Amino acid sequence: MNNKGKTALIFGVRNDSSIAWHVAKKLFDSGCNVAISYVPDTEAEVKALLLANDMGDVLTASVDVRSEQQIQDFVQRAVVQHGKIDHILHGVAFGNHKVMCSTMPGSQEEPPRYIDIPFDDLVDSFNISAYSLLRICRVTEPHLAPAASILTLSYNASQRVFPGYAGMSINKAALENIMIYLAQYFGVSGIRVNAISAGLVMTTSAGGIKGVRQLRKIGKHTAPLGNIKAEDVADAAMYYFSPLSQKVTGNIHYVDGGFNIMGVTMDEPVNA
């Protein structure tokens, strides 16, 4: 796939387990000019990762997606250096354990009750995990290339109950709704907006979900194709960042080994 001369903004790289990282790497390898945002506590790890992959010249910035000004500064740097924006990946999500109604893996404490989710904590997690897509699109709108592609990352908890994810499921449901309305909004400009609903990948964020390994075990035996890896999501993302998807918008694309179609657990999974 050839993305030479195109520019991508990647929001949400933390380390080499991040789905956003694998998307960024595939785009870079396809010839794309990549600009990557991170949060301050991951700066050293992200920059070391880029150096280790011969990407040391990639534009990077610390961006708090709650700040429109920080997004504007990042976008402006990318536009000055590379020109119009062709691709955007929104891979940002955060909710504390009060929002997730979970405790740290190994903890013997009782998890917070769903009915007790603190309003302010939930609003902050919504701001980061869902509303930030709207904010990023608002800031980048004047700088988007014709036929640009915007992609966000969701999770099946938007539709189903995962007790260890709880309030974050509210954010994913909201994110998917924001995505479809943005798809309609940008349609007149020929810009497409889609989401990938990824299966459970062992990212840093997933590691904070109590019972995550049990969920992976369930996925292994339930999904017809078994569990997925971050690279599988990145492969699907490349379709959305190519002309092959030029008439696809408002879509929620499941990359979860088929987990979302199942109602019962399989006895013999096809693939682990």
Catalytic-labelled residue, pool 38, 131, 165, 254? 165
Is there a contact between 43 and 15 (Cβ–Cβ < 8 Å)? no
Task: Name which of 182, 85, 193 is nearest 143 in CA terms.
Answer: 85
Strand partners, 150: 88, 193
Catalytic-labelled residue, pool 38, 131, 155, 240? 155
Question: Is 155 considered catalytic here?
Answer: yes
- The DSSP secondary structure of 39-101, one letter per residue, reads -GGGHHHHHHHHHHTT-TTSEEEE--TT-HHHHHHHHHHHHHHH-SEEEEEE------HHHHT
3-state secondary structure of 149: strand
Question: Is 165 considered catalytic here?
Answer: yes
Task: Name which of 71, 72, 76, 89 is nearest 34 in CA terms.
Answer: 89
69: its two tokens: 């000004």
Question: Which residues have a catalytic role annotated?
Answer: 155, 165
